[in-house]
Structure 1
């Protein structure tokens, strides 16, 4: 906007800061500042051609300062919009990460529950194992006691010509004759015979149902020496 010959006693050119004369050609900025400038290239920062166009055609003019300010505002708005877009994008990424994190937390909770169940099962197995071990230890003790009891009731007769072909009846008869020679009264129900093969030495294992009979025989044999012929074998071999 261009005006001439206006009272300008209190108006100063925003470009040069000098007072605008009454007859000065002046140009008013139509931008934000709405201030007056001398209609010169120096104050308006326009070239001659552009300045003449503004003055002669009364073209709206925006000072460079306002133009930069408005452009800055536009840039600021663009930057703000871009920042908002970035924020939205960031929020979307954060939401996605949080969603994934929630899924991971749920899976972890499921794994923990399964782990707790496995721990309970493992503890159950441990308790069962302990019970089984106790039972095994009890059985071992009972077996050891039974073994010791059997040993107390057993006699091993060595030095006899027993072979793989010697039958149980012959063994029973030999044991009965041994008892008879020792003046011990027994019958076939008092004991059980079996053959023991150890290297070349043939042995007879006699298990008495009553340990007292075994003790009587062991005590009596200390006083008598027997040979195999006396208990039914052809060979005359002394034995213990």
Structure 2
């Protein structure tokens, strides 16, 4: 399949002004505003999954995304559909891309990764439990909950890092194998997202590590699809890096 890594600078102040004009200023997750910006500029799911990277105190962010279209094709689409407001947010003249086709990879190849993800699972049955604050709660069947909280319901004693790495390994397989020794939970917080008019709190984790490709074609499809839930809102993009070093205990 044809796949490209896209890099797109975005003016943050203009993004926030545009979001406010569209009634999105009260949404706590920036991913919602970016979801709408990209959809209106390039078409639904054309740049997905994506990840916004912003340096401290910077006025410009860099959005990375995977797309089946290259930079020239995306610019042509944007030129025909951008409104004046969107043109202040999206810097089309600085949009760039690199091919990420299946031919780029080989079985057995090791790659590092940087992944922002929302590690949640859906419960197969209703359960009684406690939130992380200790409050008693009844989880309904099909509820989307933090994978670490689900593990805690089973009292298996696993750390948050171990749970999230196992969660990731299951979603990489059989396309790639996760190297647990060089992978770690780089950061964690809880964040609120808005979906279908509902505000949902959940885990917001960044994982760094190394994987080994087992199926190059399937790996390319995995990059295009993303990992986990909320992939259309800034989660689930595997940014590739050199392989990580093993941690020294």
The TM-score with structure 1 as length reference comes to: 0.25
Select the structure that is richer in strand. 2
Higher relative contact order (CA closer than 8 Å, sequence separation 6+)? 2
Select the structure that is richer in helix. 1
The TM-score with structure 2 as length reference comes to: 0.24
Which of the pair has more CA radius of gyration? 1
